[in-house]
Each structure stands twice: as structure tokens, then as C-alpha cells.
Amino acid sequence: MSEPVTGPAPLPAPSSNGAVRSRTLTWADPVETAQRLASMSGVEAMHALMRAEVPPPPIAALLEMWPIEVDEGRAVFGVTPAEFHYNPIGVVHGGMAATILDSAMGCAVHTTLPAGVGYTTLDLQATFVRPITRDTGPLRCEGTVLHRGQRIATAEGRVIAETTGKLVASGTSTCLITHAD
């Protein structure tokens, strides 16, 4: 019986050829940004983000994903898979696809909300159809609201490889509508 291994591996661990890569990230205070956006309707807030009138959330900088189209009840995000999205088995981690699905579906719900009303994801279901690699090319994720009630909203999303038009992942989401009571 082998001894258990504990703790994270020291990072970065060089590859067999000695290559090590690095990234530097910068971001603005996300709480301050959220406070500024709270006075806007959801669609106004998304448009302000897209016009760079407010800084993007840190998760967008971390994953290099961005909203590219927004209408009421619909949000489209884009990301180009890269090495920094990879897991240890040599493909993009499923969490990247789940995150872009959550972002597109959640922001689609957000576009239906008036100023001062928020949301949070209650449930996220993702189905991965094929592996994603850096060779897959740009991905486009469209989130669409299926139902928007007073307390609950549901949405669906699809992640498509732009170069082939093939589905790589899909999902559904349930969001809780939060009122500033």
C-alpha cells in the first residue's frame, strides 16, 4: 500500500522539456462595480459592461470570456480555449464550459430585471457533448430565458464551436430572483 499524498503540487511544476508558462491578471474592485450597476436595469448593466463603462468582473479576466451580444432575455458570451483552461488529461476543464454556460444563462435572466433587482443561480446542469481543446477555436455560448416569474427564472444555453458549428456543451439553469427588501 502506498502512502497517501497530501497538499497541492508546487506550482509551477515544469514540463518534461522545462517549459513553464505564466499569466498576469489585473482587475477592479468587483463590489464597487456591482454597486454602480445596481442602479441600472439588467440590460442597461450588460450594455455598460460591453461598452467598458464599468470594469469587467474578475472571472471574465481570469477565463478571458466576454459578453458579445445582449438583448432582453438573451445573452451571448465568447471565449477562445487556451492552455490555461486545461485539466491534467490534456483537454479544457469542463468547469470552463460550465462557467460560460452559467454566465450566459444568468446574464440572460439579468437582462429581464429592473434596476435594484438581482439574481443568483440555484441550479446549473451542464452536458458535455465533445472534448474542447485549444484547437477547437473560438466558442460562442448563447443563453436564453425560458421562464421569468417573480421569484424564479429558468434558462437554457448552448456552447457552439464557431469554426465547425458543432455543439460542444449545453445546459439549463434555475435562478432565484432577489429583491432588495
Could you report the per-residue pLDDT of 76-102, keeping only the tens digit for each? 999 999 999 999 999 999 999 999 999
Mean pLDDT of the chain, nearest integer: 93
Nearest in space to 60 (alpha carbons), one of 22, 103, 21, 101: 103
Rounded to two decimals, the pTM is 0.90
Q: How far apart are CA 118 and CA 151, in angstroms?
A: 10
Distances (CA, A) of 61 to 90, 95, 172: 22, 15, 24
> Distance between the two ends of the chain, CA-based, in angstroms?
57
Mean pLDDT of all residues in 6-16: 64
pLDDT in tens, 123-148: 999 999 999 999 999 999 999 999 99
**pLDDT over 70 (residue 31):** yes
The whole-angstrom separation of Cα 84 and Cα 51 is 26
Model confidence pLDDT, tens digit, residues 43-70 = 999 999 999 999 999 999 999 999 999 9
Contact 61, 24 (CB under 8 A): no
Q: How far apart are CA 46 and CA 37, in angstroms?
A: 9
Residue 20's pLDDT is 82
